A and B are shown apart, each in its own frame.
Chain A
Amino acid sequence: MALQLISANHAAGMAATMAGNANRSARGFCAGLYPITPSTECMEYLCVQELLKGQVVRVESEHSAMGVCIGAAASGARTFTTTSSNGLAYMAENVYVAALMRLPVVMVAANRALGPPWNLWADHGDSLMLRDSGWVQLYCADNQEVFDSVLMAYRIAEDRRVLLPVMVCQEGFILSHSMVETEVSSQEEVDLYLPPLDLPHRLRDDARTMGGVDTPAVTEAHRAQHHEAMSQVFEVYREAQEEFEAKFGRRPPDLLVPYKMDDAEVVLISMGTISSTVDHIVDEARSRGVKVGSIRVRGYRPFPELQLKEMLGGIGRVGVLDRDISLGFGGVLWGEVRGVAAPGAISQGYILGVGGGDVRPKHIEAVLKDLLERDSAEAPIVMETNL
């Protein structure tokens, strides 16, 4: 273990490299890689590593990056890719396939708005576009979480109760390019945390076909199994957390991260880096006697509905902050949360920071003020933070 001043992109690259090397006694490691801002530095990092039993493939598109991962994973290797924004959209078809074939691929998505018109900055809309693709999705709030989540992702993805791909999401530039002191584990520690991958359904020498034709009845059965595997993630995640703490001496956050929720009468719910600004405002408001708390949603798929319901209890004012917008509807996270809040609760959606808009304390203050003053919820409010 060593403290290093690194970006989240490099943190992700380091974690993926060590995870790949940890599979050297099994089928090895393969990464299909293609550059796109702001995930590029992660792929560049991987492309200059000396892998113990592994190979990177410098492909011509994100579609092929995932195609390579699918082929390599089908052959039993540990696999990795990273992308952003339009790259994720271009990759989307194969993103689904990795999940439908139950391949434990791990991807780091550096969240960025889609274009054109081009925008390079943070927006959760790209990975949320694939929320129904059958991948586990984790959203990070800092660089350490990115490093740790990549290692955890393999643990979860490769668990026989799960066997699903995992997408680790980190906001472009805010995390991807910010240099922060990060605890970087050693290869020896990672070796102890990640056992060699033995994918039960990989292609071997016998005549097995992966990806044949499903009738409606078989598709129904496959989706039910896939959905059930998703529900197993909660338990597997807890185990992966505990094992992580035992091996590395630090504990990655829960799927839901509550802050001052014990006596909260008002709650602000968000994902990713906005949460730390929210927590700052929670402290300020509490000093004025406002009983407000916050919840960060780190695990978005599977959605921790029961845990969230328990945390929300009878709270009557729920503000949901989305760095994304489902056009013609509102915030994607808000759409999920409002069904979980107590009956009769005011569940107000706020959309802020889309396209990398700089979300500052004053914006969260405005959200809280609005939430405290209103008599009922209305249509989601789209805030323009850069005005």
Chain B
Amino acid sequence: MSVMSECPTRQILNPGNSNCGGCGATSGLSLLSRAMEERKIQIVIPACCSAVAAGLFPNSVYGVPALLTTFAATASGATGLSVVARLNGEDTRVVCWAGDGGTYDIGMATLSAAAERNEDILYICYDNEIYGNTGGQRSSATPHGATTTNTPPGGKVEVKKDIMEIMAAHRVPYAATVSIAHHEDAIRKMRYALDQRGFRFLHLLSPCPTGWKSEPSQGVELVRLAVRSGLFPLIEIFDGKRRVVNVEPDFSNDALAKYLHLQRRFRKSGIEPEALAPEIEEHWSALRAKVKCFEEV
């Protein structure tokens, strides 16, 4: 049976929430709802769009137990929940759901420490490449060439931080990228990550129509183009060593051009595929080398 036909009995994010139309976090949590099935989940959310989405006390859109923490306390709060669950013999999966600001920037030390301790938690970064909740400022996940409310006039000069290699350097048992345009791959990875023990990391590219200045209906297509062009590699990394490429990009100029042109955040910099291609090529050649290096003989 295809995962596409499965209808979750429980939703992590219930309808009627305040997420913008086309928010990648909505799609991501919908996929996670399908992946979790009957598993018990506790979710930890730092200050971010998904915290605001919880809605006004005493109501909540979250259909699972949720702990909303301070910006940098996602992985530490989750550690506390996970430790107590294990002390009590509970198989509850503690899942962190944090944006790129809370992951790449302010929460990096906390994340790194929890990964180094190999805490029994699943950390999912929904990466919209922007501080969305504060109105769209640059983070260290914002890509080169994108304009935000606080980047220089020509857009961001610096290159996006490579979060997957950072997590790989921690030798965590499992790290993978997740695409909202590749449901079977996404749900397989989510389920695998939910059922592993130790620190697991998922990186989900999360379109933000508000910040990316794109059409809400184009989010899934944008992620598909990011995968096709090689901009967002779909990979898995086991124990920081063995790497698997799940979807081969076509590296086409066409996909990259479409990806850029469907978003007005790249307009001011005027960045073109030709400018990004060398970065992508370099990234992939390093990735291929590592795949080869750790290939099982």
Contact = CB atoms under 8 A, between A and B. Distances in A.
Interface string A259-286: 0000000000000000000000000000
B151 interface: no
Nearest to B81: A71
B17 to A, nearest CB: 12
Given A71-B80, A75-B84, A207-B62, A60 B109 contact: yes
A74 B73 CA distance: 14
A69 B73 CA distance: 11
B87 A54 contact: yes
A205 B40 contact: yes
Interface stretch (B24-32, B64-72, B247-255): B64-72
B81 A94 contact: no
Main secondary structure of the interface of A (DSSP, over half): mixed
Contact of B83 (A57, A60, A63): A57
A3 interface: no
Contacts of B240: none
A71 B76 CA distance: 7
Contacts of B68: 209-212
B110 interface: yes
B134 to A, nearest CB: 15
Interface residues of A, number: 45
B87 A64 contact: no
B247 to A, nearest CB: 34
Contacts of A77: 80, 83-84, 87
Nearest to B112: A60
A213 interface: yes
A214 B57 contact: yes
Contacts of A288: none
B73 A212 contact: no
B57 to A, nearest CB: 5
A67 B69 contact: yes
A145 B196 CA distance: 46
A68 B83 contact: yes
A67 B107 CA distance: 12
A213 B61 CA distance: 11
Interface string A31-62: 01000000000000000000001110111110
Contacts of B59: 212
Interface string A212-230: 1111001000000000000
Contact of A209 (B60, B76, B92): B60
A209 B81 contact: no
A209 B79 contact: no
Interface stretch (B48-56, B138-146, B170-178, B279-287): B48-56
Contacts of B110: 60-61, 63-64, 67
Contacts of A375: none
B64 to A, nearest CB: 6
Contacts of A69: 80
Contacts of B60: 207-209, 212
A67 B80 contact: yes
A68 B55 contact: no
A61 B112 CA distance: 12
Given A59-B76, A71-B79, A210 B66 contact: yes
A205 B65 CA distance: 6
Nearest to A203: B65
Nearest to A77: B84
A208 B66 contact: yes
A45 B78 CA distance: 25
Contacts of B87: 27-28, 30, 53-55, 77
A218 B56 contact: yes
A218 B57 contact: yes
Contact of A72 (B64, B80, B113): B80
A212 B109 contact: no
A59 B80 contact: no
A353 interface: no
Contact of B76 (A32, A203, A211): A32
B275 interface: no
A71 B81 CA distance: 5
A55 B58 CA distance: 32
Contacts of A18: none
Nearest to B64: A207
B32 to A, nearest CB: 15
A203 B69 CA distance: 14
Contact of B77 (A68, A205, A213): A68
A203 B113 contact: no
Contacts of B116: 60
A206 B117 CA distance: 29
B44 interface: yes
A77 B84 CA distance: 7
A63 B113 CA distance: 12
A73 interface: yes
B79 A57 contact: yes
Nearest to A67: B76
B42 interface: yes
Nearest to A219: B57
B76 A72 contact: no
Most buried by A among B56, B75, B85, B87: B87
B63 interface: yes
B70 A30 contact: no
Given A61-B109, A61-B110, A74-B77, A213 B56 contact: yes
Interface in B152-194: none
Contacts of A205: 40, 65, 92
A70 interface: yes
**What are the nearest 10 A-B pairs in CB distance?**
A71-B80, A67-B76, A211-B68, A72-B80, A60-B113, A209-B60, A67-B73, A75-B84, A64-B76, A71-B77
Given A64-B73, A72-B81, 10 more contacts: A66-B76, A68-B83, A71-B69, A71-B77, A209-B65, A210-B66, A210-B68, A211-B51, A212-B57, A214-B56
Interface of B: 40, 42, 44, 51-52, 54-60, 62-70, 72-73, 75-85, 87-88, 92, 109-110, 112-113, 116-117
19 contacts: A28-B88, A57-B79, A57-B117, A58-B117, A61-B109, A63-B110, A67-B75, A67-B79, A67-B110, A71-B83, A74-B81, A76-B84, A77-B83, A93-B72, A93-B73, A204-B65, A207-B63, A208-B60, A213-B57
